[in-house]
């Protein structure tokens, strides 16, 4: 069993989408739309964290209208889709909101997340993340991407802070 990182200072959760909030599967339709499946329990945890005063942000390299609608339906305000340089978006977000990087838990699953994960307080990933990402993560969820990994990490942080 892995030792738990010190979650006491976490005030902000930042997530990638594909492979973290979804299992990475894309259903491509003849209309050009690309559909994904999101886990409803992840959505509950996000809304609960927001209601308790945590910040939740999304930084994703892809930009799909359906994804934005899903994220907005969860009351997430800080949504950065189509991010070509995730580290730049991350640093600008922290600067704009006056957030200490040590107060951020970032969950990613693949190489485009690597740099951000090296600059946040706690780096986390789903159980099925790329090996290089698992190797640098301070917390590897027991759940896979799109199957409760987001819920797991939010619930763990909030319970340890006695805010769940």
Q: Annotated binding residue at 86?
A: yes
Q: Annotated binding residue at 109?
A: yes
Q: Annotated binding residue at 70?
A: yes
Q: What is the DSSP string of the chain?
A: -PPPP--TT--EEEE-STTTTS-S--EE-TTS-EE----HHHHHHHHHHHHTT-EEEEE-S---HHHHHHHHHTT--EEE-S-S-HHHHHHHHHHHHT--GGGEEEE--SGGGHHHHTSSSEEEE-TTS-HHHHHH-SEE-SSPTTTTHHHHHHHHHHHHTT--
Q: Annotated binding residue at 69?
A: no
Q: Annotated binding residue at 85?
A: no
Q: Annotated binding residue at 62?
A: yes
Q: Annotated binding residue at 151?
A: no
Which residues carry a binding-site annotation for substrate? Answer: 18, 47, 62, 70, 86
Annotated binding site for Mg(2+): 16, 109
Annotated binding residues, written as ranges, equal 16, 18, 47, 62, 70, 86, 109
């Amino acid at each position: 069993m892995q030792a738990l990182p010190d979650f006491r200072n976490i005030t902000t959760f930042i997530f990638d989408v594909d492979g973290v909030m979804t299992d990475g599967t894309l259903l491509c339709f003849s209309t050009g739309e690309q559909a994904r499946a999101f886990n409803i329990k992840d959505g509950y945890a996000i809304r609960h964290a927001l209601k308790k005063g945590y910040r939740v942000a999304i930084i994703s390299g892809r930009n799909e209208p359906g994804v934005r609608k899903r994220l907005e339906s969860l009351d997430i305000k800080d949504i950065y889709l189509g991010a070509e340089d995730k580290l730049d978006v991350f640093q600008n977000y922290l600067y704009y909101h006056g957030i200490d990087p040590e107060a951020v838990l970032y969950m990613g699953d693949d190489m485009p997340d690597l740099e951000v994960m090296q600059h946040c307080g706690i780096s986390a990933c789903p159980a099925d993340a790329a090996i290089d990402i698992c190797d640098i993560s301070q917390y590897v969820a027991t759940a896979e991407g799109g199957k409760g990994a987001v819920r797991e990490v939010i619930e763990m942080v909030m319970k340890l802070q006695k805010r769940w």
